[in-house]
Amino acid sequence: MATVFGDFSRRLAKNKMAMVGLVVVVALFVVALSARYVSPYPPDDIDTSQILMPPDLAHWLGTDVLGRDVFSRLLHGAGVSLSVGFVAVGISTMIGVVLGAMSGYYGGAVDRIIMRFVDVMLCFPSFFLILAVIAFVGPSIWNIMAVIGVTSWMGVCRLVRAEFLSIRERDFVLAARSQGAGDLRIIFIHILPNSMAPVLVAATLGVAAAVLVESGLSFLGLGVQPPDPSWGNMLTEGKDNIEIAWWLSVFPGMAILITVLGYNLLGEGIRDTLDPRLRQR
């Protein structure tokens, strides 16, 4: 295991774009974890004497319509956006792995039922489905995490199913079955660990997609509710004052761009590193 991990790390380190993405991801983690300690002001600290002040030495990224420090809110918004991304991806990955494993391992009627369910879910535009569900359950950070998770598992399910269909007839699986291993042991001990490479890539890219969805929902007023800071609801404030306060739109937009770009670069790098065709070059 150590040798495999070491080989993976060396190959990943050679991918410059993946390293850029990794640096961005690590930096975002540091920002999210240390926001409460390094932000110069409380994120909800209102100062009516500093309304819509442009960036200066006192407020590095300016202030908003209530005189709150944009830099401080941006730092705290990182934790909100990344929390939504990771929890939502965790939920979708868990659902997709379980259903994909069942579909690929058992085949037959189980496979047909699960795949038809996947087809039905894919018929609905994901964002509009999320909007409809949020309209019923109400906007909150926990509802957003759950809704994004339960509406974005289909890709992982199909990836795991494909891997199981490929692996389940290999010699080591047949040997485990001949020794009396049960279905659960074969699925979770023998096949699933050998099927996680594409899931890791999908999960990394899924965090970026979840951050975008959360930002879009918050921008529309159906996500994280004020006064809690989120990059999406900060963009909403910027939209209403874009002609006189450009910094309210530019800086949250750049934060979303850098985050999504970082996770996409890292995900693409992991995919290239795990691709056996590229490994032979």
Nearest to 101 by CA among 150, 167, 148: 167
Q: pLDDT tier at 280 (50, 70, 90 boundaries)? A: very low
Assign 278 a pLDDT band (cuts: 50, 70, 90): low
Beta bridge partners of 63: 69
d(CA 104, CA 16): 35
Distance CA 196, CA 120 (A): 25
Give whole-number Cα distances, 236 to 93, 97, 141, 211, 219, in Å.
30, 36, 17, 16, 5
- pLDDT for 281 equals 47
Q: Is pLDDT of 179 > 70?
A: yes
Lowest-pLDDT choice from 61-75, 84-98, 235-249: 235-249
Distance CA 221, CA 215 (A): 10
Task: Give the span between the Cα atoms of 207 and 152, in whole angstroms.
Answer: 11
Across 154-167, average pLDDT: 91
* Architecture of the 2-279 domain: Orthogonal Bundle (1.10)
Tell me what the mean pLDDT of segment 96-110 comes to: 91
Per-chain mean pLDDT for the chain? 86
Q: How far apart are CA 147 and CA 145, in angstroms?
A: 6
Say what percent of the chain tops pLDDT 70: 95
Confidence category of residue 107, pLDDT binned at 50, 70, 90: confident
Average pLDDT on 174-180 reads 83
3-class DSSP state of 61? coil
Chain segment 193-233, per-residue pLDDT in tens: 888 888 888 899 899 999 998 888 888 888 888 788 889 88
The reported pLDDT for the residue numbered 5 is 61
Confidence of residue 3 (pLDDT cuts 50, 70, 90): low
